[in-house]
Amino acid sequence: MSETVEFWEQHYGAKDRVWSGRVNVRLAEIVEPLPPGRVLDLGCGEGADAIWLARRGWQVVAVDVSPTALARAAEDAAAAGVAERIRFEQHDLPDTFPEGRFDLVSAQFFHSPLDVDRTAALRRAADAVTAGGLLVIVDHGATPEWTWKDGHQHHLPSLQETLTSLALDPARWERLRADAVERQGQDPDGQPTTWLDNVMVLRRLG
């Protein structure tokens, strides 16, 4: 078992449920007006985004490194009646990556306190977007009020750092949105907190 798998298995194994089960609000507002197609959900966790997308007619490939998270996601997808629309795959990104091309690739809070090559994973994600499709990245824009309890520290890249690291060809990509937005929410323990989201929506032109 790799260090990454072990870390996230411990993370998900610490509670019966880690996340709220609700779709990420930024993803919902971006995707709501779009016609359904094929979507890749990177770091799907317990599957809330994947299930929300499937309910709206999308064919979903949802990936995570944690077998525990994927098992919970698959169980919830079956209970929601959308299991046939979602394929769950375990990947230790960026070392392995799902096959295929997608109309939408979503990376919601794709952060890790471990030394993971996030830039390489997001570049592979960009390569998987079809012509006319969207790459949607939503990051934490500031360190949340809660911290990793095991003492891991990690850098949260700025919006511009993320865009620069992708090194996308401006002749082949259109930047539809790149802004920071505050929202009210809850931390993993259910306590009220204010989040800052860095929102990036990029369209592949060809």
Name the residue with higher pLDDT: 84 or 182.
84
| Fold entry, domain 3-204 | Rossmann fold (3.40.50)
**Would you give the end-to-end CA distance of the chain in angstroms?**
39
Q: What is the pTM of this model?
A: 0.88
Residue 188's pLDDT is 62
For residue 23, the tally of other CB atoms under 10 A from its CB is: 19
Structural domain spans, the chain: 3-204
pLDDT band at 54 (very low <50, low <70, confident <90, very high): very high
Q: What is the pLDDT of residues 125-170, one digit of tens each?
A: 999 999 999 999 999 887 654 455 555 556 788 999 999 999 999 9
* C-alpha dihedral, 149 to 191 to 79 to 72, nearest 10°: 0
Q: Give how far the C-alpha of residue 73 lies from the chain's centroid of Cα atoms, to the nearest Å.
A: 14
